[in-house]
């Protein structure tokens, strides 16, 4: 009888511990200035399920990000969401970026953005508020590689901007 109790506890105890497992909420944005192409190239990586939930909440539509048979409207809403959540200033002036496309890798969506015709950068500021409305402990890591400077920032809801002066 004692053996059965130990066996049952051995099965149940790990399940009880897993109830308090907390998911880590993070996105990663990499920014690279390619001087030869006079462009700033940006890749933002976001967990698909978190992004789907944010899009559904924000736009009150049932949107599913999927590599196959995805509705055209998904890309439109994704572009709109990123425009609302990511803003960039170069040399103190807001600039527009172009949504180049996206691709999926397991449970992550890679979003590709570009700012064209950038001749010189003296300062670069990025605000990244992706998923802040969904998760209080969301962190957005921003990695900047501009000219000979490499700098990383962790952005949180209370501090959503990164500035690199060159």
Per-residue model confidence as pLDDT tens digits over 5-62: 444 344 444 444 444 443 778 999 999 999 999 999 999 999 999 999 999 999 988 8
pLDDT computed for residue 109 by the predictor: 94
Strands 86-90 and 39-47: unpaired
pLDDT interval class at 120 (50, 70, 90):
very high
Size (the chain), residues = 166
5, 115 contact by CB (below 8 A): no
pLDDT interval class at 114 (50, 70, 90):
very high
Q: Residues with Cβ < 8 Å from 94, sequence gap 6 or more? A: 87, 88
109, 45 contact by CB (below 8 A): yes
pLDDT computed for residue 1 by the predictor: 52
Least Cα distance to 25 among 45, 5, 11 occurs for 45
Local structure of 145: helix, strand or coil: strand
User: How does pLDDT run across 57-112, given as a tens digit for each residue?
Assistant: 999 888 888 878 788 889 999 999 999 999 999 999 999 999 999 999 988 999 99
Distance CA 145, CA 166 (A): 11
Higher pLDDT, 2 or 130: 130
151, 144 contact by CB (below 8 A): yes
pLDDT computed for residue 7 by the predictor: 44
pLDDT computed for residue 93 by the predictor: 96
* pTM, full prediction: 0.83
């Amino acid at each position: 009888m004692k053996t059965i109790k130990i066996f049952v506890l051995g099965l149940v105890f790990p399940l009880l511990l897993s109830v308090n497992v907390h998911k880590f909420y993070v996105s990663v944005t990499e920014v690279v200035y390619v001087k030869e192409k006079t462009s700033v190239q940006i890749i933002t990586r976001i967990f698909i399920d978190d992004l789907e939930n944010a899009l559904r909440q924000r736009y009150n539509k049932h949107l599913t990000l999927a590599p196959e048979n995805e509705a055209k409207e998904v890309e439109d809403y994704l572009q709109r969401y990123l425009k609302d959540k990511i803003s960039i200033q170069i040399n103190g002036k807001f600039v527009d970026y172009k949504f180049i496309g996206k691709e999926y890798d397991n449970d992550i969506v890679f979003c590709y953005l570009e700012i064209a015709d950038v001749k010189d950068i003296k300062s670069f500021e990025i605000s990244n508020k992706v998923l802040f409305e969904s998760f209080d402990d969301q962190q957005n890591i921003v990695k900047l590689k501009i000219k000979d400077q490499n700098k990383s920032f962790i952005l949180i809801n209370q501090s959503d901007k990164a500035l690199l002066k060159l």
